[in-house]
Structures are given as structure tokens and as C-alpha cells.
Amino acid sequence: MSWPALAIGWVAFSPGDRKLHTLTYCLATPSLVLMRPSLFFMLLCVFAWQALAAHAAEPDPKNRVVVIENVKLDYAQVLNVEPVYQTLRATRIEEQCEAEQIAPVAAAPAVDDEGRINRMVDSVKEMFSRRPELPSAPVAVPPTSTRRNCRVVEVPREFRRPIAFDVDYVYKGTKYRSRLPEDPGNRLRIRVSVTPYIPDAIVAPPR
């Protein structure tokens, strides 16, 4: 008849000397102990001690310290301000016109027989009279007309606007850089928080 192996342990903590006392009892079947008593007993004790030590090492939430945050307001010196731009693109419909000149077409005068005979008579009279030639009247130049050629086109537009400001400032000899919605000017109001560093501590806001 075989008996199952069993490991039982207790953990005792004394606040005075702050020592962790682990008491472990290992029970096994006689046949297993007789075969390899020392090795089997050591393995059981090691496993039981590791499990109990891991459970005892977990911090108790009740023992955590609540740290009150110390806050004050101060001013930092601004070193440089760089605006951050947003580029916007849009199209607008416009009417573009071009002036075009049109030359008028002169109508050809009608030629008739009577006019032709009159010109022949005048030329004969001029040959016999030998009068000096009078200057001819200047020929009037017909005015030119202008026509507008218009068409609708899409004109692309691009413009930028500042949406934020990258501010470089110094406080207590240390330089910082932050992105702000507005230009702070020469001085920047800052919030200074001072708390002691305690691992796993709960930081509470100032009262």
C-alpha cells in the first residue's frame, strides 16, 4: 500500500526581530523514503519553502504610505518661441478675361458707269489746265473694336495659420521644452511639484 507524499508548512513573523520563520514538515511513504530519503525530503522542503516565501514577500496594501504632494507656482524664463503652422489648401472659382482687338472690314465702293465717265472727264480737264495739284485729304482710318474673351477657372489657394507654439524655457538652471496653445511672452508661469521618492507609494494631491 502506497501513501501520497504531503508537505505542510507554517509561516511565523515576529515584529520584534523582523525574522521570517518557516516551519515545514514533509511526510512521505516509507518505501519512497527508504529508497532515497535525503533527496526526496530535500526536494519537498525546497518547493514548500519557495511557495511560502513568495507568498510572504507580497506587500500588504494596508502598509503602503500615502505621500502628500507639495505644490507651488513659480515663473520660468522663456528662451525661444517657435510657432507651429498648419497648412491649408483650397480652390476658388474666378473669371479671367482677355481683351481681343478686331479690325473692321472696309466695304468696297460700288463702281458704276457714270462715275467712271466723270473720272475720265476730270482727268482730261486736269491735263489741259495744268493746275497745281492740291494735297489730298487724309483718309480716315476706321476705328478698331475690342472684344473681351472671358472664361471661368479654378484658382488654387494655400495659406498657413499658427496652431501652437514650441516654447524653450529655463528654470533653476534646467532647460525645458513644451508645446503651448499661446505665446507666453518673456516669462512662463509653471507648476512645481516636490514629493519624496518612495517605491510603490501612493501620491495624493495637496489639500
Name the pTM for this structure: 0.43
- pLDDT tens column, 11-28: 444 444 444 444 444 444
- In which residue are the cell numbers 474673351 written? 149
Helical spans, DSSP H, in the chain: 30-35, 37-57, 113-129
Residue 197: band (very low, low, confident or very high) from pLDDT cuts 50, 70, 90:
confident
Say what the pLDDT of residue 70 is: 92
The domain segmentation of the chain, as residue ranges, is 6-58, 66-84+163-204
What's the rounded Cα separation, in Å, for the pair 168 and 152? 49
Say what the pLDDT of residue 96 is: 82
pLDDT (average), residues 87-99: 86
- In which residue are the cell numbers 458704276 written? 112
- pLDDT tens column, 41-51: 677 777 777 76
Say what the pLDDT of residue 84 is: 95
What's the rounded Cα separation, in Å, for the pair 6 and 32? 12
